[in-house]
Amino acid sequence: MRVSVIGTGKTGGAVADLLGKDAIRFDSERRATVEEIEKTDIAIVFVPGEAADEIVELLLEAKVPAVWGTTGYEWPKDLPDRVKAAGARWVIGSNFSLGMNLIRKALNIFGKGAELLEDPEYHIHEVHHVHKKDAPSGTALSWQKWLNRDALISSDRQGDVKGIHNLHIKTEFESIYLKHEAHDRKLFAQGAIWTVNYLLKHPEIPAGVYSFSSIFDQAFSELL
């Protein structure tokens, strides 16, 4: 397997490191070209939003599958049609943590099961590094969405914490806790590589644009 790794910042660099000799690195010093991308089996892209337009056009012309971790970018409305026309398969995600997607499913269950509890209270607490500007985190807001219940959300900023999220469900007679802690940002690189392997092992997936969560859900359903 040969993978075009486009963008070698913190996450893209981690992707390239984990792939080792299978990675063909492209960045501002070695710019990607259609000819070189075509020599690889798939692309993983972690570039800033402002650099995405150029890479979108390159990948559409190269017609290879792609896994995108780019955020802060407004995707063209006609992108799904253009990707289908190219016969390509693209997966787009803002968080490639496999564990976080298991959390998503657990929160769906907790939210539905709340009907069985008497007067439950929900508290989501998140902790991140001191340089993170937004509070609460986007992930904490996603937790509330996945839970589909009104919840108190609180935030804390400490050191170089990669990300800790906790849910506390409290009733008069018991407490339920759910926690996710990121130990290393490589977990996002690991999830992107998992997606690459899944796409290549499932050529029957039709051309088009998919969310990472939809690909995860397909893989999860195969376990049931």
What is the per-residue DSSP string for the chain? Answer: --EEEE--SHHHHHHHHHHGGGEEEESSSS---HHHHHTSSEEEE---GGGHHHHHHHHHHHT--EEE---S----TTHHHHHHHTT-EEEE-S---HHHHHHHHHHHHHHHHGGGSSS-EEEEEEEE-TT---SS-HHHHHHHHHHTS--EEEEEE-TT---EEEEEEE-SS-EEEEEEE---THHHHHHHHHHHHHHHH-TTSPSEEEEHHHHHHHHHHTT-
Q: Is the preceding peptide bond at 120 cis, omega within 30 degrees of 0?
A: no
| 133 is an active site residue | no
Could you say which of 128, 165, 180, 186 is catalytic?
A: 128
Give me the amino acid identity at 47.
Answer: V
> Can you read off the two tokens belonging to residue 35?
């000819």
Of 77, 117, 79, 93, nearest to 44 by C-alpha is: 93
Could you say which of 63, 105, 132, 168 is catalytic?
A: 132
| 128 is an active site residue | yes
**Hey, which residues are catalytic here?**
128, 132
